């Protein structure tokens, strides 16, 4: 056999990144998902990933890749398999200790930004922070000067993830405080906030509408809130005013059928204006109550 033919044979045997990506896409039926798995397995993304497409992958990369594909095919959510997920401008670490940040929660961040962007100073509390998604996105997008953000959660395991993510936001991390505790108990005594924001658990116990993969994989403490899913709003809404400035706002993510109930709670708690807003699909998704 000629040297040329030998080289061609070797080349066909080499597992390049391009071939690994294609094989993964064939197995998963999605080039996007295959790409994300290959990116994590090789620790390459963007231009570096493109530049390495014709390079061979290492045995270690293939092992990491195969383990991720097996986990994904067993039903584990892709976000946990990857161990990371994008939320606004952040690439957050996520695992089974925290809820996977959802696109609709990005709208909650947008609404808080609109409320505080023009204030000279802004103090915000993100209660039930989980991965830190809401509070860290706010810290990342608000001015470095004049911003103070508290992240809290009752669950210490979730706060460990939030702290890991805090370490990844660069200089804005200096504006963030983290404290464990049950809703308002985590906040400093007597301090007032311009905005209290929360995406609390809001699924009714035993709800049949919940996706099986969510029920099986995501933390129950992040999901369920009593027989009608409103138990945590019943605790947060009446307690909020004493932690807000005189013009402060409470911003809550809600389930699509909870707008009327949460609006009534806010009015009963003495909030002057209560605005129920839709998500991009047109479903009620958040409540902004202002004192
Ligand atoms: C729906 S998850 C939201 C996580 C994150 N904020 C997000 O939007 O992706 C609700 C969070 O509330 C926390 N939580 C549940 N009960 C709580 C309580 N009594 N006090 C504080 N946090 C609580 C859970 O641990 C969970 O992290």
Q: Is the CB of 134 under 6 A from ligand 1?
A: yes
| Ligand 1, atom 12, residue with closest C-alpha | 128
Q: Is the CB of 133 under 6 A from ligand 1?
A: yes
Atom of ligand 1 lying closest to residue 98 CA: 27
Q: What is the dihedral of CA 91, 89, 77, 102, to 10 degrees?
A: 140
Query: What does pTM read for this prediction?
Result: 0.93
Pair 151, 177: CB distance under 8 Å? yes
Ranges of each domain in the chain: 3-74, 96-290
Tell me the C-alpha distance between 102 and 106, whole Å: 7
**In the CATH hierarchy, which top-level class contains the domain 96-290?**
alpha beta
Q: Is the CB of 33 under 6 A from ligand 1?
A: no
Can you list the alpha helix ranges (DSSP code H) found in the chain?
3-13, 17-28, 31-42, 46-51, 59-73, 78-82, 103-116, 133-141, 156-166, 212-217, 231-240, 259-268
Pair 197, 116: CB distance under 8 Å? no
User: Cα of 223 to ligand 1 centre, how many Å?
Assistant: 8
Q: Which of 31, 10, 13 is nearest to 21 (CA)?
A: 31
Q: Which of 32, 124, 49 is nearest to 86 (CA)?
A: 32
N residues, the chain: 291
Q: Which of 126, 195, 196 is nearest to 162 (CA)?
A: 126
Which of 155, 197, 207 most suits a substitution to test ligand 1, by most atoms within 8 Å of the C-beta? 155
Q: Is the CB of 221 under 6 A from ligand 1?
A: yes
Cα Rg of the chain, angstroms: 23
User: Cα of 70 to ligand 1 centre, how many Å?
Assistant: 29
Q: What is the pLDDT along the chain (291 residues), one digit of tens a residue?
A: 333 444 444 566 899 999 999 999 999 999 999 999 999 999 999 999 999 999 999 999 999 999 999 999 999 999 999 999 999 999 999 999 999 999 999 999 999 999 999 999 999 999 999 999 999 999 999 999 999 999 999 999 999 999 999 999 999 999 999 999 999 999 999 899 999 999 999 999 989 889 999 999 999 999 999 999 999 999 999 999 999 999 999 999 999 999 999 999 999 999 999 999 999 999 999 999 999
| DSSP β-bridge partners for residue 281 | none
Which of 104, 108, 153, 286 most suits a substitution to test ligand 1, by most atoms within 8 Å of the C-beta? 153
User: Cα of 128 to ligand 1 centre, how many Å?
Assistant: 3
Q: Is the CB of 218 under 6 A from ligand 1?
A: no
């Amino acid at each position: 056999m000629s040297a040329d033919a030998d080289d061609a044979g070797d080349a066909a045997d080499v597992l390049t990144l391009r071939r690994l990506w294609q094989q993964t896409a064939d197995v998963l039926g999605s080039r996007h998902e295959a790409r994300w798995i290959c990116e994590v397995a090789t620790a390459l993304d963007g231009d570096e990933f493109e530049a390495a497409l014709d390079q061979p992958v290492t045995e270690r990369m293939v092992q990491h890749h195969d383990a991720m594909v097996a986990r994904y095919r067993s039903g584990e959510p892709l976000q946990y398999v990857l161990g990371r997920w994008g939320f606004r401008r952040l690439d957050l670490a996520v695992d089974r200790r925290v809820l996977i940040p959802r696109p609709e929660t990005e709208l909650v961040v947008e609404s808080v930004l609109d409320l505080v962007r023009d204030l000279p100073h802004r103090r915000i509390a993100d209660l039930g922070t989980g991965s830190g998604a809401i509070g860290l996105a706010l810290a990342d997008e608000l001015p470095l000067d004049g911003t103070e953000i508290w992240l809290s959660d009752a669950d210490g395991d979730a706060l460990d993830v939030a702290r890991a993510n805090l370490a990844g936001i660069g200089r804005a991390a200096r504006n963030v405080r983290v404290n464990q505790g049950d809703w308002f108990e985590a906040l400093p005594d007597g301090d007032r906030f311009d905005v209290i924001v929360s995406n609390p658990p809001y699924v009714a116990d035993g709800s049949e509408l919940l996706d099986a993969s969510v029920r099986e994989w995501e933390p129950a403490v992040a999901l369920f809130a009593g027989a009608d899913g409103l138990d945590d709003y019943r605790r947060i809404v009446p307690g909020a005013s004493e932690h807000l400035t005189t013009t402060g706002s409470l911003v809550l993510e809600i389930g699509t059928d909870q707008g009327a109930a949460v609006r009534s709670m806010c009015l009963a708690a003495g909030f002057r204006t209560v605005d129920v807003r839709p998500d991009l699909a047109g479903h009620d998704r958040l409540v902004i109550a202002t004192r």
